[in-house]
């Protein structure tokens, strides 16, 4: 199958650099799947699961959060805030984060300045837990 060059970077490392057949990520308006020879494209990323099928046809999943997906001349780049492969996720930590965020949200009203921050925290934790299990 045709492949494209995929790079996935986060501030502290390069999570993936190689050929891939497809990638599915959660953009802000829903899931987007990129296949080879996609038109030049860019969109901000939301918080959700990412599914990468590499050049050999193996599919790996990861928790991906924030940043940008950009396609340019069959070069696909995921410039994420965080990107953790299934194996790298710390389940205990994610569960703790979930509990903590839930507690925070209960004590807040929707108008609170930190409400969206806490909500995003909860979303990230839930995504990590879902990807891991």
Partner 1 sequence: MAGSSMKAIKLRIKSVESTMQITKAMQLVATSKLRRAKERMEKSKPYASISREAMMAAVRSCDEPDIPFVTARPVKNRCYVVIAGERGLAGGYNANVFKAVDAHAEGTPYCVLPLGRKAIEKYNHLGVRLLNEEYSHVEGLPVSACYKLTQQLTAGYLAGEYDEIYLVYTNFQSMMSQEVKIEQLLPIERQEESGIDHRNASTVYEPDAAETLKSVVPDFLAGRLYSAACDSFASEVSARRNAMDSATKNAGEMISDLRLKFNRARQGAITQEITEIVAGAEK
How far apart are alpha carbons 115 and 102 in whole angstroms?
11
Do 43 and 105 touch, CB atoms closer than 8 A? no
Q: Is the dihedral angle over the CA atoms 42, 81, 95, 23 positive or is it negative?
A: positive
Question: Is residue 79 close enough to count as binding partner 1 by CB under 8 A?
Answer: yes
Stretch of 9-17, 54-62, 85-93, 98-106 contacting partner 1, by CB under 8 A: 9-17
Question: Is residue 104 close enough to count as binding partner 1 by CB under 8 A?
Answer: no
- Looking at the Cβ atoms of 61 and 81, the one nearer to partner 1 is 81
Residues 48-77 that bind partner 1 (CB under 8 A): 66-68, 70, 72-73, 77
């Amino acid at each position: 199958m045709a492949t494209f060059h995929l790079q996935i970077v986060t501030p502290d490392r390069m999570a993936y650099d190689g050929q891939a057949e497809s990638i599915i990520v959660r953009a802000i308006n829903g899931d987007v799947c990129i296949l080879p020879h996609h038109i030049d494209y860019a969109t901000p990323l939301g918080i959700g699961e990412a599914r990468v099928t590499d050049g050999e046809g193996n599919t790996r999943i990861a928790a991906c959060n924030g940043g940008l997906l950009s396609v340019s001349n069959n070069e696909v780049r995921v410039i994420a805030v965080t990107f953790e492969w299934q194996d790298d996720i710390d389940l205990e930590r994610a569960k703790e984060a979930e509990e903590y965020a839930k507690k925070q949200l209960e004590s807040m009203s929707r108008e609170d300045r930190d409400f969206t921050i806490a909500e995003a925290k909860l979303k990230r934790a839930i995504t990590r837990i879902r990807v891991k299990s």
